[in-house]
Each structure stands twice: as structure tokens, then as C-alpha cells.
Structure 1
């Protein structure tokens, strides 16, 4: 009885300490409070998307070696941490169809990638993808996340693996939602050809047609989020490390020691059945699955199914530790 009381008191002190530590990250930096014209419209669109999350949240701004990291946090204070890495140009707001389900029992930390449109702000140039991994680990360290699940979508999936290969300590499990260039190269396809052709069209036409190749149900994407996404695409965030996103070798994938769950859509322009086979055959603790009636944006196309499968996986991993 006394032992349980001591453990409970220690846990309470830990969570109070974390909240106290996080309070120093809540002050909005000047680039947010007094944005230039270029960023103001995007930040306003970003905030409008946060309003449709339908779940309480707080925003943190953490100073790092490369600039300010912006993190959106939701879920109970005592929930086990889940770190989210978004897809290209998508920012943390892309998780609007998934956040409520995840934050019901988990403490969710959605990090804006510092090299893309979002609310993170770079001040020091990154020299390699090693620096990207170091940046993520620095953010996670300042959040005091000793152990956590990590979920990456599209390019966020590649970044999640890159981060883990530099330091796996603390990563309890990994979920990869249609990870880009992670297991296989993006192969020539009708949809890929369409995107190349659309590159010579107007910005509006490019956006419309790109969404049709990436999503099975593009008209179901929330308009508020879409308005923000359009501004992000117009900002053109193809950074110098995009060409460094090459599929990982079998040896690199074999070195991942945590359970990894890979989900792709059956109409996915980025992945195919080979991705699922590799996840099962190469990863030491890997599993893979294909979601029906979903494109590359499967977390939007089939949000309820993806939420259910991801939570089932996370709960299963958590129960193994109990």
C-alpha cells in the first residue's frame, strides 16, 4: 500500500514537472505575433484548420540549434506519448481526421517539420539529413519524452525511419502511413505521368489534379484544411534534401528493433504490394497491411479505419509492457 502511494506521488510529481517545463514553451515568438505579409495569410489559414480539430490543444515553441520548433499537443496529461511527423507541405494540421481518436487516451505531439511550411522557423542551415534527425531528437529531448510511439505519414514516414536509424532509444513502436521513398522507389505510373503533365498547368489546375492522384476521395478533404494546403504548396517547399530521400537498404531496415506497422492504400501512387511484403519480410518486428478504397492520403480517405487499426496496434504494444 505504502509502495503504491510512493509510486503514485512520484508519477504526480513527474507530470506536474512536465507541465511546469512546458509552460516556458508557450510564449509565441515574434515571427508568429508580428508575421510578415508572406507568412500572415498562411498562419491565419493554419489557425483556422486547428479550429476544426474538435479536441483541446496547446501550442509549444521550442528553441533548438536550428531554429524554433512548433509543436501542437493534445490528449490527457498522463497519456503515453505519441509523436506525429506529417507529410510534405501538409504541416501538423493534416492530422485533423485522426487527432480526436489518438488524443482520447494518448498524449499526442505533432511536430511541424522545420524545412516546410508550418509554424516552425529555421535560423541555421541544415547540412544533411543527419541534421534533420538531430533536430527531431533535440525537440523530443526538450519535450522530456523518454519513451514514445512515433507515427509518420508520407515523407514523415521516411523522416521517422531516418530519425530512428540515428537513435532508436525511446522509440517504443513506429507506424508508417504510406511512407514515401522508404521501402521502394516511386515507380512510373499513370498518376505520376499526370502529375508531370500538370506541372505545366496553372497553379489551381495543378492542385486540383494532384489531389485527384493522391486521394481516392479528394472532395472529402475539409475545405478549411485545403485552403491552408494550397498556400503551402504555392510556397514551394521542395528543399535540398528531397533528392536524398532514397529507399533504405535491407540492412538499415533490419536494424530497426521496435515493432513497425506499415499501412498503404490500395490506390496508392507512392507504394504497392511490395512495400507490404518488405515490411513483413525484412523488418524484424514488422507488419504491413493494405487499406481498401484509399489513395496515398489514406489517413484522410479512410480515417475511421486507419484510426481503428493504428489504435489497435498501439494498444497491443502497450499491453505487452504491462
Structure 2
């Protein structure tokens, strides 16, 4: 009887063990950060206070460094993975996380080549290595199937991953995906961004935000501070030239449900993006009114509602 009781106790103990406990200790680059990095991490944490939901931060060792992942939502709920936009970090989801995490287990991954809390130790030389890194993180998280949401460049990366792992991805939500369905169209805003490259860093950031958002005043000050500090840090923004629109055959090979949302004042996309999305086997494209490229912030309530309806 005694061995049986010991076995039962062991099973109960292991069943209650923290699945990601080994990833929760902050590494030295966080705890002993340089002055500039410490200021950025402090601003990052200030933005996290906007989430309005409980969360855990994970630091997962990978071949190329440490992946920082923020986890929220019920432990046994369906998994949703979030891929943020360029230089935006996972904190960009602050207007969306409460809605998404209500009935889903949400995993927001900081891209290792951009400002955030992930840490690059070994260089990544190709897009193939980028997708391999994401797969390594997903393997560590033990996610066999999940919904995938990507914004801007994260949308392009989400499609790249979906084309490689069709069976694992239950559905795909793309928020103003960059260079995914069409090339970025020439526009006045794009020209202004090019012109301000010769201006101060502050002017560049100001113009970039004006062209990306239909209402910059709506962006929370805490996130703006973090975003601005992030642009001043070294960023390995490589492979931008590799981000070319996918072919019709590639896009139509996607067998999972796909939702594509763009803003009506979207500098990155045009309505043809929506038209192409609607030709996919299980595709649906929509234009969100009074929204720019940052539609998840510009019209958070509408975008949240459409994402949740789609995930059902």
C-alpha cells in the first residue's frame, strides 16, 4: 500500500508542477542591464502595466539567444501566438490582450532581432534561420496547435510559418500585413518618411507615427516612451528586402481559416489586399474604418471584436 501511496503522491506532484517554471528566472542581461538597456526595460515594464490582465514572463534559451515570451490567459484554453510589428515589441498588444486572454492562452513573443526583452547571442543570417528560431520557441512552449496572429512584419512572418506548418496552425489573423499580399504602395506619407530620414531622430519618429496611425494622440504615453527608446537602440532589422509578396499559389495553398484586416488609411496596404484575401480557400478580408497601419490601436475595440468572432 505504501509504494502505491508514494506513486500517487508523485503523480499529483508532477501534475501540479509549473510547466514553464524553468524559464521564469530573469537572466543577467535583464537584472544587470546597462544604463541604456535598463531605461528601455523600465519603459517596457511600464507599458506592461497597461495590460489589465495577469501575465508571466518567460526567458527561453535558444540556439541564437534567449526568447522573451509573455503568457496570459487560462492555462487550459486554446493557444494564441502573437507576432508583433517591426520594432514594436510584444507590448504593442496592450489594447488587445485583455480581450484575447479572456478565453485563450496567449503567448506574445519578442522578435530576437528587434528591441524587446529577447537577447541575441548568435547572429541569424537568413529568413530560414528566423523561422527556425520561432519553431524552436514554439517547441519549448510545447504548442502542438495554436492560432497565429501577426501584425505588419509579424503578419509576413506568420504567413511564412503557416506555409511551413499547416497542420499546427488552427487559424491565421493578419493585421495590416507588410509586403504579404501586395507591394507597399507609393504614397505621400511614404515620401514624407523618406524626406525626414535627413531630419533629427525625433522628427523621424514623429513623422513615422503620423503616417502609421490615424490618431497618434490615442497611443498611450507609456508605450510611446518605450517605442521611442527602442528606436534609439541597436536593431538588427535585416531581411527587409526578403519580405516580398507571396505568390497566388502560395497564398491559396493555405488551408486554415485566414482573416486579414487593414485600415482605410493604411500606408502599407491597399484594398487589393482585401480582394486577394477573399479569394483564399478559407479567407476573409475587411477594411477597418478610421484606422491607419496601427489599426489594433487606432480601432482596438472593433479589431478585438472581429478577432474574437473569427477565433470562435
Question: Equivalent of 1:254, from 225, 246, 252?
Answer: 252
Distance 1:175 1:44 in 2: 30
5+ residue gaps, structure 1: 1-12, 316-322
The CA deviation at 1:74 is 0.6
The CA deviation at 1:17 is 5.0
Question: Equivalent of 2:304, from 287, 304, 307?
Answer: 307
Query: Is the CA contact (8 Å cut-off) linking 1:65 and 1:135 kept in structure 2?
Result: yes
Distance 1:248 1:297 in 2: 22
Matches within 5 A, 1:171-320: 171-235=169-233, 237=235, 239-281=237-279, 283-315=280-312
Matches within 5 A, 1:159-178: 159-178=157-176
The CA deviation at 1:116 is 0.3
Decide which moves more: 229-238 or 208-217. Answer: 229-238
Q: How many residues align?
A: 301
Under a length normalisation based on structure 2, what TM-score does the superposition of the two structures give?
0.93
Distance 1:81 1:242 in 2: 29
**1:113 and 2:108 aligned:** no
Under a length normalisation based on structure 1, what TM-score does the superposition of the two structures give?
0.91
Question: Equivalent of 2:155, from 146, 154, 157?
Answer: 157
Decide which moves more: 164-173 or 303-312. Answer: 164-173
Specify the alignment match of 1:79 in structure 2.
Answer: 77
Query: Is the CA contact (8 Å cut-off) linking 2:44 and 2:91 kept in structure 1?
Result: yes
The CA deviation at 1:19 is 5.7
1:271-311: per-residue Cα shift (whole Å, max 9, x none)? 01100001111x22111000000000000000000000000
Specify the alignment match of 1:4 in structure 2.
Answer: none
Distance 2:307 2:252 in 1: 22
5+ residue gaps, structure 2: 1-10
Decide which moves more: 235-244 or 143-152. Answer: 235-244
Distance 1:233 1:183 in 2: 27
SS at match of 1:70: strand
Distance 2:292 2:308 in 1: 20
Specify the alignment match of 1:145 in structure 2.
Answer: 143
The CA deviation at 1:180 is 0.4
Distance 1:131 1:21 in 2: 27
Specify the alignment match of 1:3 in structure 2.
Answer: none
1:245-287: per-residue Cα shift (whole Å, max 9, x none)? 1111112112211111000000000001100001111x22111
